Chains A and B, each alone.
Chain A
Amino acid sequence: QVQLKESGPGLVAPSQSLSITCTVSGFSLTSYDISWIRQPPGKGLEWLGVIWTGGGTNYNSAFMSRLSISKDNSKSQVFLKMNSLQTDDTAIYYCVREGTGALFAYWGQGTLVTVSA
């Protein structure tokens, strides 16, 4: 079955960078686009960006200068990297499979990233 699982560092110091890996199973990254969405604790959802099947990307302009999304199709992994983290980047980060019908039909469980000294 379709599964996505995020793995991240848990804690990041201010001004440092964040790297999260999304490992997928039950489908191929050559067939489905993957978005990243985050949710600060107790707050709403924010779309960060998408990586398409062909490897192209589209980023939320609010993060474009410090966000990078890449993938390794052979390892079924998608990578999010964000630079210059601040405390308001504390959030649960989700990877989400896009679909042709329901856009965000499959979500990972999310990984909580806390930015703190």
Chain B
Amino acid sequence: DIKMTQSPSSMYASLGERVTITCKASQDINSYLSWFQQKPGKSPKTLIYRANRLVDGVPSRFSGSGSGQDYSLTISSLEYEDMGIYYCLQYDEFPRTFGGGTKLEIK
């Protein structure tokens, strides 16, 4: 199985700050990577797919980048509503595997 190592596991950031979360796959996943945001008591919401494609309706302050084994999610200017837990997912191979999550809190 492909292991997805996500970092940091938790972080505090200030409003307006640029935030970056990273995900490293145990092998090349050919950009088959998605990012999700989950808020308390809610189902996850897809932000990014194919490493860098923004889902319709997701604010443009979110962006994804990376290739091979290394990927990142960036929030260009943190807003209060961005609090939550973020997960990466690889879907290059079965079983699909998620990163462990990053809990993002406002400082």
Residues of A bordering B, CB below 8 Å: 35, 44-47, 58-62, 94, 101-105, 107-110
For B53, what are the chain A residues with a Cβ–Cβ distance below 8 Å?
101-102
**Bound-state Cα–Cα, A107 to B38, Å:** 12
B79-93 at interface with A (beta carbon < 8 Å): 87, 89, 91
Number of interface residues of B (CB under 8 A): 22
Which residue on chain B has the smallest CB distance to residue A98? B91
Contact pick for B46, options A35, A105, A109, A110, CB 8 Å: A105
Given contacts A45-B89, A103-B89, A105-B55, 13 further A-B contacts (CB under 8 A): A44-B87, A44-B101, A45-B36, A45-B44, A47-B95, A47-B97, A58-B94, A101-B55, A102-B34, A102-B46, A102-B55, A104-B36, A107-B43
For B55, what are the chain A residues with a Cβ–Cβ distance below 8 Å?
101-102, 105
Which residue on chain A has the smallest CB distance to residue B34? A103
Q: Is the interface of B mostly helix, strand, loop or mixed?
A: loop
Contact pick for A109, options B43, B45, B49, B87, CB 8 Å: B43
For A35, what are the chain B residues with a Cβ–Cβ distance below 8 Å?
96
**Bound-state Cα–Cα, A94 to B98, Å:** 15
**When the two chains form their complex, are residues A104 and B87 in contact, meaning their CB atoms are under 8 A apart?**
no
**When the two chains form their complex, are residues A45 and B46 in contact, meaning their CB atoms are under 8 A apart?**
no
**When the two chains form their complex, are residues B34 and A45 in contact, meaning their CB atoms are under 8 A apart?**
no
**Bound-state Cα–Cα, A82 to B35, Å:** 28
**When the two chains form their complex, are residues A94 and B43 in contact, meaning their CB atoms are under 8 A apart?**
yes
